[in-house]
Each structure stands twice: as structure tokens, then as C-alpha cells.
Amino acid sequence: MTTTKRFGGRPKPLSRLFEGKLLILDMDGTSLDSELLVVATWLKVFARLDPKRKLTLRELEAFSGPPLLDSCRKCFPDRDPLEVEKLYIEEADPLYPTLANLFPGEREALARLKENGCKLAINSNKLHAQAVMALEEQGIASLFDAVVAGGDAPMKPDPAGVNRILKELGIEKENAVYLGDSSFDALTARNAGIASFLVRFYPRSIPKELTPDRYVDSYKELPEVLRSWWKLTH
């Protein structure tokens, strides 16, 4: 008897639903609820390098998304950005166990996609070692078939990281979806020529010209949104 899973109330064969498909996920703000960690880390960095400067919560939240080195250059133009980046990592690493989490329903949704044949990958501007550490800390590292992060390829929105994942996993562009949370992610997907989905877990300002193919409001609905998208485009 064929085992089935139900998506949107309709049973689908467990082993065939997403076979040959690929979901590429951004990390901060998409596959990792790290907003509080990012804010706390930057507060520590500013306390050490520019203690008199006061920042608003909105300014601190804006650091989630852009490449870390870009933020280091912007905030401390008179300092070596690599040294600022090193300090950020030193301050951030101890915070992962307490300030970074998965989003509600994420573990279950990703496991369900994996069970149904979908390949999963991470494409992040976070340094590779940090990205892998974060996935291991959350207990989901084994779900991913590829991790391409900082140091592995040019930074997003350059499509090189996405192209490397596609080549490594042998997936055609029409069978891939990029899931992110920011304009950087939408632009990365566009530059790579694959579908762009954006989560709405945090309020983000997305330029009209980068409107994604789909919005995702929760991980619970993600498998059905993907199913309907691939059904529509194939």
C-alpha cells in the first residue's frame, strides 16, 4: 500500500511529491530566527568600538540581511572591516545557543519536504563555519544536501552561490525555488534565474521591482505553497 501525506487536505504519494525539486534557503531571518542575536551582537560591537553612539531598534534590525563585511565598512569606515568582522563573530558565537531558534513549524516542514524527495540547501552570506554551527546547534544540519556560505562563493546577491548549489545537486533552474526574507534574497534569486519566495516573519521593505513570485506566511503552509507553484509551472 502506498504511503501518503496530506497537503491541503489531499493525499500525495510520499516518495514522489517533490522528487527532483530543490529549495534553497537563506539563513538569518529565513531558516534561523536570529533577529535578537543580530541586534544583541551589534550592541556589543558598538559598545566596544563606539560606546557613545546610540542606535534605534530599526537601525539595528537593518543589519539582518546585508553582507556582514558591508555593514562593518558602513558602520566603521575608519577601521579595518576584517577586524570588525572578526570582533562580530567573537561576540556572536556564544549567543547562538540562547538567542537563535527555529521558526514555528520549521523543523516539521523541512523534514516533510525532505521525506517527499525535495533537496534542501543553504545559501548565506554568513561565514561557512558559522552557518554549519548554527544548523548543528538547531539539530537540522542533516536535512541539508548542500551549504554554500561566506568564503565558498562571492557574496549575495551574486548568483554564484546558487549556481554552485544547482550544479552540485544536479538540479535545473526551473525546478529550484529560493526562499529568503530580504531584497538581497529576492535579487539573488532574480540574478540566478530561479523562482523567488519571501517569508513574512519580519517586516521588511521590498522594492516593487523585486516583488517575489510568492510570499510565505508560515512554515506550516510552505509545502503546499511549493506544491502549488511547481504544479502551476510544470
For 62-102, the pLDDT digits (tens) are 887 778 888 999 999 999 999 999 999 999 999 999 999 99
C-alpha cell read off for 225: 505553497
Residue 4 pLDDT level (bands cut at 50, 70, 90): very low
Task: Answer positive or negative: Cα dihedral of 13, 25, 60, 33.
Answer: positive
Quote the CA–CA distance of 23 and 115 in Å, as a whole number: 13
Q: Span 9-19, mean pLDDT?
A: 61
C-alpha cell read off for 28: 538569518
Torsion angle, alpha carbons of 202, 204, 61, 33, to 10: 30
Output the average pLDDT for the chain.
Answer: 90
* pLDDT attached to residue 16: 67
pLDDT of 60 strictly over 50: yes
pLDDT of 127 strictly over 90: no
Closest CA to 90 of 45, 49, 155: 45
CB atoms within 10 A of CB 71: 21
Q: Span 29-54, mean pLDDT?
A: 94
pLDDT of 14 strictly over 80: no
* pLDDT attached to residue 7: 45
Burial of 232 per CB tally in 10 Å (0-12, 13-18, 19+): exposed
- Whole-model pTM over 0.75: yes
* pLDDT attached to residue 188: 96
* pLDDT attached to residue 5: 45
Q: b/e map of 150-186 (b: 16 or more CB within 10 Å)?
A: bebbebbbbbbbbbbbbeebebeeebbbbbbbbbbbb
Torsion angle, alpha carbons of 146, 153, 94, 63, to 10: -120
Quote the CA–CA distance of 100 and 38 in Å, as a whole number: 9
Closest CA to 225 of 195, 203, 183: 195
Contact of 19 with 26, CB cutoff 8 Å: no
